[in-house]
Amino acid sequence: MVGSGEIVVDGIHKVFKKGKPDEVRAVDGISFTINKGELFGLLGPNGAGKTTLIKCISTLLIPDSGSVKVGGYDIYREPLDVRRHIGVLTGGERSLYWKLNPVENLRYFAALYGVPRKITKERIEYLLDLMGLTDKTRVRVEKLSSGMKQKLSLARVLIHDPPILLVDEPTLGLDPYFARFIRDFVKNELNRKLNKTILLTTHYMDEADDLCERIAFMNRGKIEALDTPERLKQSMPQKQVLEIKCQGTLEREMFSSIEGAASINISHGDGFAYLRLNTDNPEIILGNIIELVRENAKIYSVRVTVPTLEDVFVHLTGASLKDG
């Protein structure tokens, strides 16, 4: 159903290597609407189809079928109008000229977008100031840290002051300080203050939860659920989570016989394995679970907590956001 909205995606498909044995249905019948001024998140694991979807919306790829309107413009009939109204930030992409300094880069992109000469200088000063890059104006981009490059990429995306932003994994590979800066900037400056409509993709659950007003869970080319983070978490049938931090080898199957435990998820980080089970009765199943874990691992801590978006994703798809 096509409705009114700033970004209206209606039934789009994109298949790679069509008809070949290794055909990939990267975007497999997706529809959603993003309202003006909304910060909307696409959350999904590697290969879910997030970047392909962003490329279709931004006219970099032509979908096989379906329709997309951006700012009221049709991606097939009015691609140039679409491009004028969007800024596209792709994480980890080499979208800057590394031999040029930040001012030269921004001047180049301003010219490319037809920003009038009169306002270019002012706009560059404003953006570099906003990004805290005023002391780097004469430093070649190749000498900037990855966090500073990402800040400059954001400035580039904003040079023509587009009302709509498509940001693909904006904090991928950044250290926590720059990741925090980018997140705060996207939410407070771009969305709240400047009222930009933003479509953001991420596979970081906390990032989506923290930033987005609504989230679409994407998996294998499809949207599995779409709602506010709060309502997604409230939709879990079990209201508590038992989490065990341990060292050793755990398999999901080890816990499948436990009654009253669902959405079993095992993840790894900082040298530890984390087992999460959704349940309404943590105290009843705790004894059995600890016994099973102890057969294969050393337990460091046990806690009872509430569902996260990761738990909802596991519940809906059986997959983890960290799965390849």
Contacts of 316 (CB under 8 A, 6+ apart): 217, 219, 224, 225
323 vs 267: CA distance, rounded Å: 9
User: Which window, 46-54, 151-159, 231-239, 307-315, contacts Mg ion (CB under 5 A)?
Assistant: 46-54
In which region does residue 255 sit, left (phi positive, over 0), alpha (psi from -120 to 50) or beta (all else)? alpha
Binding partner selected for residue 26 from ligand ATP, Mg ion, none, CB under the kind-specific 5 to 8 Å limit: ligand ATP
314 vs 225: CA distance, rounded Å: 12
Contacts of 54 (CB under 8 A, 6+ apart): 42, 88, 90, 166, 168, 199, 201
Q: Which amino acid makes up residue 303?
A: R
Please report whether residue 16 would count as binding ligand ATP according to CB under 6 A: yes
Site string for ligand ATP, 187-216 (x = CB under 6 A): ----------------x-------------
CB of 245 to ligand ATP, least distance (A): 26
CB of 82 to ligand ATP, least distance (A): 19
Please report whether residue 223 would count as binding ligand ATP according to CB under 6 A: no
CB of 65 to Mg ion, least distance (A): 22
Q: Look at the block and give the residue holding tokens 């209206």.
A: 8
Site string for ligand ATP, 23-62 (x = CB under 6 A): -x-x-----------------x-xxxxxxx----------
Question: Which residue intervals of 50-200 are DSSP H helices?
Answer: 50-57, 79-85, 102-112, 117-130, 146-157, 176-184
CB of 277 to ligand ATP, least distance (A): 26
Dihedral over alpha carbons 113, 117, 122, 125 (to 10 degrees)? 60
User: Which window, 50-58, 153-161, 234-242, 245-253, contacts Mg ion (CB under 5 A)?
Assistant: 50-58
Please report whether residue 58 would count as binding Mg ion according to CB under 5 A: no
Binding partner selected for residue 88 from ligand ATP, Mg ion, none, CB under the kind-specific 5 to 8 Å limit: none
Please report whether residue 51 would count as binding Mg ion according to CB under 5 A: yes
116 vs 55: CA distance, rounded Å: 27
247 vs 252: CA distance, rounded Å: 15
CB of 138 to ligand ATP, least distance (A): 34
Please report whether residue 202 would count as binding Mg ion according to CB under 5 A: no
76 vs 129: CA distance, rounded Å: 37
Which stretches of the chain bind ligand ATP, using CB under 6 A?
16-17, 24, 26, 44, 46-52, 203
Binding residues for Mg ion (CB under 5 A):
50-51
